[in-house]
Structure 1
């Protein structure tokens, strides 16, 4: 269950995460689902999971559409942003979302978590072949995985846990 108002909070700031692996991404998403969260931006956990999962799937299956100006912007985006993404740095600029990657308005948190798990399993498969990025062009598999990890972290930073995750602080049996 999510603890958030409709729309973004006007009193909360984006938090800073340091997710080092896709296991960290899944743990963070599951924790937010369990303890609840406040939204700093417009998307819920379910919408974020849906969005990043679609992006992961399209990076393998192919992007259905790319803006006509993308080839002209690619060298600039690659020069200005790719290094920062690969080094896991914050990017202040807000990049527009491709229409087909926008999440459904009513995506449920619980339904989107299995979608995220499936998409992560696909991109982690060592035999996965990726297509060129609409923003950055050709990327290696390792670069694509770093882009996806950064992308997940970027969006999850806009959800603030509503309560401490008691399980994270309890002694292991």
Structure 2
């Protein structure tokens, strides 16, 4: 449930998360679904879950389309961003989303959580074979999992739990 369904809040800023596992990703997503949230950016929890799930699935099943310029920019992205992603650092640059990975405008939170759970189960399977990343090139399975963990964290940072409001407005003792 988003309190800013038609757009992001202009009063809030992105929060910092430090998610160390996919169990923590799922716990955070479930918590946001339960307590509600404010959006700092344009996507709801359902849209974020849909987006990161599609990216996980495509990293296994293959990306439907890759921009023709991808091989040209891949060395730059790998040099500039790969280490930061693997070290779980924030990246301020906003990268455009491939059209097929953009979420549906009205993806509901409750429908997207099971989609995220299924995608995480797939990527955690030790026998999973990943394809080449359109942005970073060839990655090991562990590197792919780190990319996905970072990607989930990156997007979830743009949702602020609504329960925080109740704590902030509680009378001081």
**How far did residue 5 of structure 1 move?**
4.4
> Structure 2 stretches of 5 or more lacking a match?
165-173
**How far did residue 139 of structure 1 move?**
0.1
Maintained 8 Å contact 2:45/2:159: yes
Maintained 8 Å contact 2:86/2:147: yes
Q: Deviations 1:54-107 (Å, cap 9, x if unpaired)? A: 000000000000011100000000000000000000001111100000000010
**How far did residue 4 of structure 1 move?**
2.5
Match of 1:30 in 2: 30
Worse-superposed segment, 91-100 or 3-12: 3-12
Q: Distance in 2 between matches of 1:126 and 1:4?
A: 39
> Structure 1 stretches of 5 or more lacking a match?
165-173
Q: Deviations 1:7-38 (Å, cap 9, x if unpaired)? A: 11111000000000000000000000000000
- SS of structure 1 residue aligned to 2:163: coil
Q: Distance in 2 between matches of 1:134 and 1:112?
A: 24
Match of 1:84 in 2: 84
- 1:54-93 pair list within 5 angstroms: 54-93=54-93
- SS of structure 1 residue aligned to 2:137: coil
Q: Distance in 2 between matches of 1:2 and 1:72?
A: 39
Match of 1:170 in 2: none
Q: Distance in 1 between matches of 2:73 and 2:42?
A: 26
Q: TM-score, normalised by structure 2?
A: 0.94
Match of 1:11 in 2: 11
**How far did residue 52 of structure 1 move?**
0.1
Q: Distance in 1 between matches of 2:108 and 2:131?
A: 29
Instruction: Extract structure 1 runs of 4+ deviating beyond 3 A.
Output: none
Match of 1:102 in 2: 102
Q: TM-score, normalised by structure 1?
A: 0.94
- 1:161-172 pair list within 5 angstroms: 161-164=161-164
Number of equivalenced pairs: 166
Match of 1:42 in 2: 42
- SS of structure 2 residue aligned to 1:129: coil
Maintained 8 Å contact 2:78/2:135: yes
- 1:80-159 pair list within 5 angstroms: 80-159=80-159
